[in-house]
Structure 1
Amino acid sequence: MSVPLETWNAVYDNDSAPWVIGEPQPAIVELEQAGRIRGRVLDPGAGAGEHTILLTRLGYDVRGIDVSPSAVEYARRNAAAQGVSAARFDVADALRLADAEALADDGGTPQFDTIVDSALFHVFGEDPESRAAYVRSLHAVCKPGGLVHVLALSDREPGIGPRISDTVIRESFTDGWEFEDLQPARYIGRVTDSVAEQAAGLEQVNGRVSVAAWLARYRRI
Structure 2
Amino acid sequence: MSAFPLRDVDFDAAYQGKPLLKGSEVTFDLAPWDIGAPQPAVVELERDGRFHGEVLDVGCGLGENAAFLATRGHRVTGVDGSATALEEAARRAAKRGAEVTFVQSDATSLTELDEQRYDSVLDSALYHCLDDEQRQRYAEALHRVTAPGGQLNLLCFADIDEGLRFPMSVSQENLRTNLGKHWDIEEIRRNAYTTSLTEEAFVQVGIQALASMGFSIDPDRIRRDERGRILGPVWHLRAKRR
TM-score (structure 2 length as normaliser)? 0.79
Tell me how far 1:159 sits from its aligned partner: 2.4
2:147 aligned to 139, 143, 151, which one?
143
1:133 aligned to 98, 114, 137, which one?
137
Map residues 1-221 of structure 1 onto 2, 5 A cutoff. Answer: 2-3=6-7, 7-14=10-17, 16-84=30-98, 86-97=99-110, 99-100=111-112, 103-104=113-114, 109-124=115-130, 127-157=131-161, 158-161=163-166, 162-191=168-197, 197=210, 198-199=216-217, 201=219, 202-204=222-224, 206=227, 208-221=229-242
Paired residue secondary structure (2:97): coil
Higher-Rg structure is 2
Tell me how far 1:35 sits from its aligned partner: 0.9
Output the CA distance in 2 between the equivalents of 1:128 and 1:45: 17
Residue ranges of structure 2 left out of the alignment (5+ in a row): 1-5, 18-28, 211-215
The Cα offsets for residues 64-114 of structure 1, whole Å up to 9 and x where unpaired, read as: 010000010111121122232x222121111111x11xx35xxxx311000
The answer on whether the counterparts of 2:120 and 2:150 sit within 8 Å (CA) in structure 1 is yes
RMSD of equivalent CA atoms = 2.2
Paired residue secondary structure (1:73): helix
Q: Provide runs of 4+ in structure 1 moved above 6 Å.
A: none
TM-score (structure 1 length as normaliser)? 0.87
Output the CA distance in 2 between the equivalents of 1:3 and 1:75: 24
Tell me how far 1:133 sits from its aligned partner: 0.7
Kindly tell me: are residues 131 and 195 of structure 1, through their superposed partners in 2, closer, same or farther at Cα, counting changes over 3 Å?
farther
Kindly tell me: are residues 59 and 128 of structure 1, through their superposed partners in 2, closer, same or farther at Cα, counting changes over 3 Å?
same
Paired residue secondary structure (1:11): helix
Output the CA distance in 1 between the equivalents of 2:31 and 2:195: 9
The answer on whether the counterparts of 2:59 and 2:81 sit within 8 Å (CA) in structure 1 is yes
Output the CA distance in 1 between the equivalents of 2:7 and 2:101: 24
Tell me how far 1:207 sits from its aligned partner: 5.5
Question: How many residues matched?
Answer: 210
The answer on whether the counterparts of 2:192 and 2:231 sit within 8 Å (CA) in structure 1 is yes
Output the CA distance in 2 between the equivalents of 1:173 and 1:11: 28
Letter in 1 for 2:132: P
Tell me how far 1:165 sits from its aligned partner: 1.2
